[in-house]
Amino acid sequence: MQHEKPIELRKASQGLLVVLALATQARAAPADRPVDFNRDIRPILAENCFACHGFDEHARKAGLRLDRAESAYEELDGITPLVPGDPEASEAWLRISSTDPDEVMPPPSSHRALSEAQKGLLRRWIKEGAAYADHWAFVPPTKVEPPRQDVAPIDAFVRARLATEKLEPSPEADRATLIRRVSLDLTGLPPSADEVAAFRADSAPDAYVQLVDRLLASPHFGERMALPWLDAARYADTNGFSIDGGRHAWLWRDWVIHAFNSNKPFDRFLVEQIAGDLLPDRTDEALAATGFQRNAMITHEGGTIPEENLVNYGADRVRTFGEAVLGLTLGCAQCHDHKFDPISQRDYYRLFDFFNQTSEPALGGDGGVNAAPTAQLRSPLVHDDVDALRARISTLESMLAVPDDAVPGSVAAWEGQQRADLAVRGKDFALHPVKLLKISTPNTGSGFSIRDGRYALVERPMGFVAFDVSMELPARTAPITGLRIVMHPDPDAPAKGWGWATDEGVGKGEKGSFVVTNVSLSAGTIPSDQVNLYRLLPLRTATANCWSVDGRPEGVLNTKANEAWIPDIGVEGPVRLTLTFSEPLPSDATHLTAQVNFGRHGNVTAKRMEFFLVSGNDDDSTLPQSIIDIVAKASDVRTENEWATLRSYVAKHAPALASLRSDLDYVRERLAIHAEAFTALVMDTAATPRQTRILHRGNYADPRDPVTAGVPSALPPLPEGAPPNRLGLAQWTVSRANPLTARVAVNRVWQLLFGTGLVKTAGDFGTQGEWPSHPELLDWLAVDFVEHGWDVKRLVRQIVTSETYRQASHASKAALDRDPDNRLLARGPRFRLAAELIRDAALKTSGLLVSDLGGPSVHPYTPGDPWREISHYGSTPATAQTFSQDHGARLYRRSLYTYWKRTLPPPNMATFDAPNRETCAVDRANTNTPLQALVLLNDIQFVEAARAFAERILRRDGDDAARLAWAFTEATSGEPTPAVLAVLARAIARERAAFAANPDAARRLLSNGESVRDATIPAVEHAAWAQVAALLLNLSETSTRN
Amino acid sequence: MHPLDDSLAHLTRRAFIGRGAGGIGQLALGSLLLSALAGRSEASQVRSPRGLAGFPHFAPKAKRVLCLFQSGGMSHIDLFDQKQTLVDFAGKELPPSIKGTQRVTGMTSEQTQFLVVPPIAGGKLCGKSGLWISDLLPHLQTVADDLCIIKSLNTEAINHDPAITFMNTGNQLPGYASMGSWVSYGLGSENEDLPAFIAMVSQGSGKNPDQPIFSRLWGSGFLPSSHQGVGLRPGGNPVLYLANPDGIDREHRRAMLDDLADLNALHAAESGDPETLARIEAYEMAFRMQASVPELVDVSGEAAETLELYGPEVSKPGSYAANCLLGRRLLERGVRFVQLFHRGWDQHIALNRQLPNQCRDIDQPTAAIITDLKRRGMLEDTLVVFATEFGRTAYSQGGFGDPSAGRDHHGRCFTVWLAGGGVKGGVSYGSTDDFSYNITADPVHLRDFHATILHCLGVDHERFTYRFRGLDTKLTGVEPAKVVRGILL
């Protein structure tokens, strides 16, 4: 039995019968219509017979082929498999209809069986002449005359099919539904309530077409169209295999968005991605496009075998090219001739050869550095107003220059806090020696030790290394407030310094220093060699007795390699780092483990470390002495210079100005995107050609016959004069003779707009793929697309202005029974939004969305640091081993800019079926799970969005009813019915009462999220509306496009 | 009526009649919604509490699986498959006739010497069955008679990423569905309030951090993502996003969800969209999970004696021991497939230092869960799978006797074991040569291993397929795979 999809819930209901009945209707010829080989027979043969009697000569049994007429009609040892017109003389029919288990085909051992309906079809087919036809998708499409001329061609084809099925199309959807549907489809963002109202009120006959044109011109069009292409192209920000370190791939992503926005003809879109580097008129932009092929996963895992890696990389390129561009599942032919499609193993390796000629190394991509070949390129996606960016930068800079102007009273408030802290500095301070038990590090077994239970020694220079030091804690009475690590000068270290680092920027070239990038602590009642990642002690501050300019101690509180504690080389004697816990250490803790990470680069370890518990207040300060001196002075006696120093310090460090600092950092990055070139992964041609060979059973270690580049023999040859390289392949791909490319392309656009393609198996147009629901329409669209210059915007416009697209999606029970998956298109498409669109819609509705285009990927809210739990952090120069959340604008970018780590994609996206982007994905599942409900209810991103949406609601004039009505439309685009308003009115009343009874709960709810709340709104009122806003963001309608 | 339909019927009755919500309660509406269910489309289905039609294929011996995955490549030589010859050849070159021409990794392929290293600790023949188990695993020694040790497991992969992906998904390359997700897909869950497949990760104290692991190991690959393993993590949010935001308590959430159900039901009635009904049910399941998961992870009601059984680390959140105890609690609650990943077994260096630590992490808790399941009468229908991605070489990586030396990867033969549901206890299956380097009898490819696990669950791996990239894809892949009959009860 086949299990193509999760039918479990249908099994006991009549739904299954309906589906099966429909499938039969959809595929089988009615009794009065001749059997069509491709539609009716090939799927049965492919499913049940070709594995042993098909194209793969190695698997062929009894020398019999049923995939070609000439073989099937041929007499073999006195037996003829198929005698056209005479089933009873056809051996195939006799075997198929046999009841003898030794005779019957397919044999019981294959676990396959033909249904009576299938047998009937086969018999009819033989009776009618057993005519074969080439597989439909391998025959170039032709444009047949649409069945009627009074409607648009799309509608003509769809209606003709409906007529044969005796179904009626649905009426046009209402205006609100239409604007929501087309806005989400073309930009990925829902319309605002105002836009809905304006569209409702627009009586112009072409109001809808105008709307479509406006959306096609939106810069967000490219973002929306890019999304499925990023899946197909397995775009991500990490290398994928093994350590899964970071890469810089975003420039290619921006190229894609720009290509759609600028309506790059789709043939050119493909040519540049396949062979942009080989184009005679090559531009930087075309070179950036070749990143498509560099999206493949790579590894730098030591011990991997180069030949094996290169085969994996190449195979991934062939597979992606096959599924995303040609709609063929070529992967089967890596190991053997394809069982179902006419793709031989030789064909496979000839295609492989096109992609095998790059200089990309077998191991690469470590340390966050892109693997070769790379190029320094400018982003083609220039969208921001550069002058505005510059102006914004100078505004932010001047705000930070005078902190009191930016945040009134910020200097005094900060000073007050510092004076309060300084006043209690060192109060009751005491150190408590601990007993060191063990020191360990993962990648080396020697070179470190514990001496006298007191010192942890690192006996030779090492880098990219974390040491775990476990210790036994003394009995104590005072609450323990922190941990101190003292780095001692050591006679064995360079120039009697504290550590092994003597390179520039750390020491002065003689005295050994060190770089601590992170300290993580955990405590418990049993000794633990390793820090417990699941119970890290929260730390409030990190101080030191000295630091260098770029090495402030608070750098150890995060896992970023570029923020680290580096002591001031001029200081004599021991240097110390003091970590103060957020809460005193639990009194029952008897053991503590500290992980000290020296992760920046080579040879930056300390030499001799000593550890103490701290009670009382830290006797060091986060402030340098110069600032302490200024703070100590009365404000009226400070010099102007001192004021300037103080302001500058406040601007750089005061928490109250953090959001300004992140804004400035963000805007500077935006400007840099326009002004600078960035590293990009590109394709090239290796100086020495690689000899591609057929790999026996796909095994890299078993290369056999050499092959040269070529296209599958069942498809048209390379065009006349095309070079035998990727450029030739690209020309072939988009040539008129290619029967697949345009069909696959229009089908993908159809899939985006209807949820399901005309060919449901968007990545498989081969014989195992599904027969198109509307074959003539698919072909008509494909030919028309090519005839009009592969114009994507035109194609989209053509489809979304059709009456078919504009139908209401309301489904009666009868309609659902008849066609639950809406393949016949008797109603408008309805489906849950993609992961990214759900989050983007919430951001837009809340007003938090930062709608900038392109740029480096961002790290929005993620619970904790899930990366570290699975990664190689502390043991590798690779990046993306720990998660560091961004702040400010980067929290609110559209979701396609979220940093995509392949081994652990953003959990709130993965929950909504986003693929992990390890391999080509042309189709997303569309599931409905309780975990999705938990994301929408509890993910801080959505909780904050509800809070911000509430502010927008409260900024509107009007009573509750008016506000509720507006908010409902803003979230769902729909008009609330009185019943809906009644529920919402009940909700706001209840929420008000609940928070009035518990104002602290209101305050706590509103504290979720980093954006600044409008404090003029009373907390209870704000929280009550935030709950109603959350209710709206959780509605099924809000995450559905219908 | 299907059970889900039944629960929705109940739900809609509750929403429309039971509470007379806002004056919109009407019986007709409820039944209209219900009638829409019949044609519910694929997309509208909530994570199914049930498996596929016709599953299991035959009466299963095991109803559920606990997979204790030792990530990094556990040394079979040191722990389960020792040979006297290894001792005799200590420090001597591995005979070329043994080493053969099989490939070794890039980490040792350049070595000029391949010197045999004997097991780092002694061991003994345990229990009535007399299985040899290393003294590094003293607790495990006590349950030897329950174990079915397979010494002839083998894989083609010799590096972590492909090997661990192969072992967990049946394919060396990414993109395929994990064991647990297959089982979830085929057999569904026995508990509507918990996912069918739960995964937990712990860090090893032998080597930390060890080789990275990947969400694809518990991912759903090409299967619907509702079958992916749900991570269970220590701390206040054991399932990501489980906890209500600060300021919202359970009662408050309930009230909001009632409104949500009413609004969604109104919409379903208006639009005829059955997916909306399924979404109501998803929210209800989420709400139930918010209660069932904290109850699940709260071990305060466990007897002191039980906690002691698992050893001192059971009190350390996120430890292997704590995860074992949670594993038992999950199995008790009907979770179909529980998988622990314990990192830290990649002993290329400092074998003598690292391996005892790794063993200490897992020894007592692993023995404890066997004992605990057994005394609760659950071992007989729970299949415990103790597996790793490959073994380690008989020869030294690095200089012989060097404290920094270790063992390289070895896929040609390695040891895993099974216990409980449907397999014989106290047996050893398959054998290797005098250097534990090559298989001499009864090879078990990891495909066979997968087929056998499915068999214990009553599933014929040949008939368990999913259409992907034009193929009826199986967990056991395209090459032949066989059930290891010799170990079955």
Contact B70, B211 (CB under 8 A): no
Predicted local distance difference test score (pLDDT) of residue A19: 35
Report which of B436, B423, B410 is spatially closest to residue B382, judged by C-alpha positions: B423
Tens-digit pLDDT profile for residues A7-59 = 333 333 333 333 333 333 344 455 567 888 888 898 888 888 888 888 888 87
Sketch out chain B's domains with CATH numbers: 1-37+250-300 (no CATH), 64-234+317-487 (3.40.720)
Q: Please say if the pLDDT value at position A4 is more than 80.
A: no
Q: What are phi and psi of A349, to 5 degrees?
A: -75, -25
Q: What is the CA radius of gyration of chain A?
A: 33
- Give Cβ neighbours of residue A352 (< 8 Å, ≥ 6 apart): A314, A315, A318, A692
Q: Do residues B373 and B240 make contact, with C-beta atoms less than 8 angstroms apart?
A: no
Q: A359-390: buried (b, 16+ CB within 10 Å) or exposed (e) per residue?
A: ebbbbbbbebbbbebbbebbbbbebbeeeebe
Average pLDDT over residues A1001-1029: 97
CA A99 to chain CA centroid, Å, is 52
Select the highest-mean-pLDDT range: A205-209, A335-339, B190-194, B234-238. Answer: A205-209
pTM for the complete prediction? 0.92
Cα B241 off chain centre by: 22
pLDDT tens-digit profile of A385-437? 899 999 999 999 999 999 998 889 999 999 999 999 999 999 999 999 999 99
pLDDT, position A504: 60
At A686, is the secondary structure helix, strand, or coil? coil
Mean pLDDT computed over A195-211:
97
Name the band, by pLDDT with cuts 50, 70 and 90, for residue A240. Answer: very high
Q: What 8-state DSSP symbol labels residue A212?
A: H
Q: Is A388 on the interface with B (CB under 8 A)?
A: no
Rg (CA), chain B: 25
Residue ranges covered by each domain of chain A:
29-133, 242-376+685-738, 379-425+623-672, 428-620, 835-911+928-1042
Averaged pLDDT score across all residues of chain B? 89
User: Residues of A numbered 901-940 whose beta carbons fall under 8 angstroms of chain B's beta carbons: which are they?
Assistant: 902-905, 907-908, 910-911, 913, 916, 918-919, 925-935, 937-940
Mean pLDDT of B110-138: 96
Q: For residue A258, give Cα distances in angstroms to A225, A255, A265, A293, A853.
A: 10, 5, 12, 18, 9
Which pLDDT band, with edges at 50, 70 and 90, does A383 fall under? confident
Contacts with B, A 457-476, CB within 8 Å: 468
| 3-state SS assignment for residue B392 | strand
How large is the ipTM?
Answer: 0.91
For the cut 90, the answer to whether the pLDDT of residue A922 exceeds it is yes
The percent of residues in chain A predicted with pLDDT above 70, rounded, is: 96
At residue B35 the predicted structure's pLDDT band, cuts being 50, 70 and 90, is very low
Higher per-residue confidence, B254 vs A550: B254
> What are B340-351's pLDDT values in tens digits?
999 999 999 999
What mean pLDDT do residues B144-170 have? 96
What single DSSP character describes residue B16?
I
In this prediction, residue A507 carries a pLDDT of: 58
- Is A16 in a helix, a strand, or coil? helix
Which percentage of chain B shows pLDDT scores above 70?
A: 90
Q: Looking at the partner chain, which of A9, A468, A937 has a beta carbon nearest the beta carbon of B208? A: A468
Confidence of residue B206 (pLDDT cuts 50, 70, 90): confident
Q: What is the pLDDT of residue B41?
A: 39
State both tokens at B68: 């204790």
User: With 60 as the cut, is the pLDDT of residue A763 above it?
Assistant: yes
Which of A836, A825, A834 lies closest to A926, judged by CA? A834
DSSP three-state, residue B288: helix
CA distance B346 to B206: 9
> Which pLDDT score, from 0 to 100, does residue A8 have?
34
Give the pLDDT score at A142.
95
B395-408 residue pLDDT tens: 999 999 998 899 99
Contact A329 B106 (CB under 8 A): no
CB of A12 within 8 Å of a chain B CB? The answer is yes
The residues pairing with A706 across neighbouring beta strands, listed in sequence order, are: A693
Cα A64 from Cα A45, distance rounded (Å): 13
Nearest to A980 by CA among B262, B102, B148: B262
- Measure B369 CA to nearest chain A CA, in Å: 21
Q: What is the pLDDT of residues A249-285, one digit of tens each?
A: 999 999 999 999 999 999 999 999 999 999 999 999 9
Give the Cα separation of A310 and A345 in Å (integer).
Answer: 18
- The answer to whether the CB atoms of B174 and A919 lie below 8 A apart is yes
pLDDT tens sequence across B433-470: 999 999 999 999 999 999 999 999 999 999 999 988 87
Q: Which residue in chain A is spatially nearest to B188 when comparing CA positions?
A: A8
Cα(A492)–Cα(A495) distance, rounded to whole angstroms? Answer: 8
Joined together, the tokens standing for residue B262 give 């009413």
Contact B252 A443 (CB under 8 A): no
Q: What confidence tier does A509 reach under pLDDT thresholds 50, 70, 90?
A: low
Cβ count near A925 (within 10 Å): 20
Reference A613, options A472, A437, A487; nearest CA is A472
Distance CA A439, CA A446 (A): 10
Please provide the DSSP assignment of A514-539 as one string: --B-EEEEEEESS--SS--GGGPPPE
- pLDDT of res. A505: 60
pLDDT given at position A673: 93
Q: What is the sign of the dihedral through the CA atoms of A824, A825, A831 and A833?
A: positive
Amino acid at B375: R
The angle formed by the CA atoms of residues A560, A565 and A566, to the nearest 5 degrees, is 125
List B444's β-bridge partners, or say none: B153
Interface test with B, best of A534, A839, A901, A1007 (most B CBs within 10 A): A534
Q: Are the CB atoms for A294 and A252 separated by under 8 Å?
A: yes
State yes or no: pLDDT of A554 exceeds 60: yes
Nearest CA to B71 out of B459, B388, B350 is that of: B388
Q: Of B150, B174, B179, B180, nearest to B161 (Cα)? A: B174
pLDDT band per the 50, 70, 90 thresholds, residue A779: very high
pLDDT for A336 equals: 86
Instruction: Test B286 with A871 for CB contact under 8 angstroms.
Output: no
Cα separation, A997 vs A992, in Å, equals 8
Verify whether the Cβ–Cβ distance B207 to A769 is below 8 Å. no
Q: Is the pLDDT of residue B474 over 70?
A: yes
pLDDT in tens, A117-163: 999 999 999 999 999 988 999 999 999 999 999 999 999 999 999 99
Pick the CATH number of A428-620 from 2.60.40, 2.60.120, 3.30.70, 3.40.50: 2.60.120
- How far is the C-alpha of B297 from the C-alpha of B291, rounded, in Å? 11
Distance CA A755, CA A738 (A): 26
Contacts of A613 (CB under 8 A, 6+ apart): A431, A432, A434, A473, A474, A476, A480, A482, A483, A484, A585, A592
Residue with the bigger pLDDT between A77 and A185: it is: A185
Nearest to A369 by CA among A877, A883, A884, A886: A877
Neighbours of A60 (CB within 10 A): 18
Residue from B182, B208, B472 whose CB has the most chain A CBs within 10 Å, to mutate: B208
What span, in angstroms and rounded, lies between the C-alpha atoms of B421 and B459? 14
Q: Where are the alpha helices (H) located in B335-396, listed in sequence order?
A: 351-375
A911 CB neighbours in chain B (<8 A) are: 225, 241
CA dihedral sign, ordered A674, A676, A677, A679: negative
- Specify whether the CB–CB gap between B141 and B370 falls below 8 A: no
Structure tokens at B295: 């109850």
Q: Quote the mean pLDDT of chain A.
A: 92
Among candidate residues B294, B311, B157, B162, the one with its CA nearest the CA of residue B239:
B294
User: Quick one: closest CA in B to A443, which residue?
Assistant: B349
Interface of A with B in 527-556 (CB under 8 A): 528-535
Kindly give, in sequence order, each residue whose CB lies less than 8 Å from that of residue B379, ignoring residues fewer than 6 positions away: B146, B370, B373, B419, B420, B421
Residues in chain A within 8 Å Cβ distance of B39: 15, 18, 811, 813, 816-817, 820
**A508 pLDDT tier (thresholds 50, 70, 90):** low
Helix (H, G, I), strand (E, B) or coil at B359: helix
Provide the β-strand partners of residue A898.
A858
